[in-house]
Amino acid sequence: MKGFVQKIKQKFSKSKNLSLVMGAQYERQNYGQPLDRSQSSQFPGRDVETYFRPSSLPIKNTLFTDHHFFDPYYDKDVNEMKLPATLTRTAEGTVLAYLSVLREAENLTPSQMGGCGTVGMAKLPYPIAYQFFTKDYHKNVSYQEYLQSFRGIGHLNVIKLNRLPDENEVVSYFIELETIEGSSKGLTYFAYYYGKIQLKKVHSHYKIDQMKLYGEDFLCAPYHLWQHDAEAVVEVMYGNWCQLIKKKLPTTQEGYVKTIVFIGTDGAEYRLIFYQLTNDTDVLISQFRKHSKGNFETIHIDPYDCVKKR
């Protein structure tokens, strides 16, 4: 059996290499250079993005797919790189530009390989992306530490991007990332992350000051957790634990945004906003309570504190 499998692998490897050679020759003969994702119109009716992702959500980080943006940065050290001022004039512009740079980056390793040649712009985008951070971030995270955080990742798409309520003049965005990662098995796989990017205004420009990401598990919730479901979270944590729910209204959902409203035992109206991740887990994003003037104000209730007080 082992010998048979080895023969199959050798046969597949030969046919794969032949296909790659023929494909490269076809590209050179017909287009003079390898296919650029920004030139998908060369194949009418063909969406090149279908080769990169299974998700149907539109990609957000698509600013630099023609690769000309990277031309001035070749052969420059990380400390010599400067960003165009136009990229950081708005908070959302900074986030989109930063994530668009990272979309073209790869940090595959000998133990986590993928692709059949050069992937994207290789590691060139990483020192450029590092320039989107504040000086305080640079003090806390060196460039090498930053680079290592992408170990094994070969491609990155942003599929969710939403601004969170501002707090004390701090601007934050929720993001969900869809990555293609290498492996030691001769295949690549999709992995998903979600988290928050926090920005700070520095001399009329927005720089990234903090960032925290969490990996998504596709096995935990369906087997063990009720915490993945927004309705269960509200009923258990805010109802049973905090004894705060008098009447719960029907859940509403638009796309991946779930809104749950309930009337509290204190007579106030509460509104909880959840985002639904790719693995179907609902993540609590914001909590609001309607004050006496009829407007909603941001609040922070930790249901675990309710348990501690019992």
Q: Does the pLDDT at position 113 exceed 50?
A: yes
Q: Does the pLDDT at position 263 exceed 80?
A: yes
- Span between the terminal Cα atoms of the chain, in Å: 62
Q: Where are the domains of the chain?
A: 38-215, 223-309
pLDDT of residue 29: 40
> What does the alpha-carbon distance between residue 31 and residue 41 come to, in Å, rounded to a whole number?
12
Mean of the pLDDT values across residues 188-217? 95
Per residue in 194-203, pLDDT tens?
Answer: 999 999 999 9
Predicted confidence band of residue 34 (pLDDT cuts 50, 70, 90): very low
Q: Does the pLDDT at position 75 exceed 50?
A: yes
Domains 38-215 and 223-309 share a fold: yes
Task: Name the burial class of residue 179, with classes exposed (0-12), middle (13-18) and buried (19+) by CB atoms within 10 angstroms of its CB.
Answer: buried
- Taking the domain 223-309, which CATH number applies? 3.10.450
Contact (Cβ atoms closer than 8 angstroms) between residue 160 and residue 96? no
Q: Could you tell me what percent of the chain has a pLDDT over 70? A: 83
Structure tokens at 90: 């708005």
Structure tokens at 35: 């296919």
Q: Does the pLDDT at position 33 exceed 70?
A: no
Angle at alpha carbon of residue 278, lines to 277 and 284, rounded to 5°? 5
pLDDT of residue 41: 42
- The top-level CATH class assigned to 38-215 is alpha beta
pTM for the complete prediction?
0.81
Q: Does the pLDDT at position 264 exceed 70?
A: yes
pLDDT of residue 25: 40
Q: Could you tell me what percent of the chain has a pLDDT over 90? A: 69
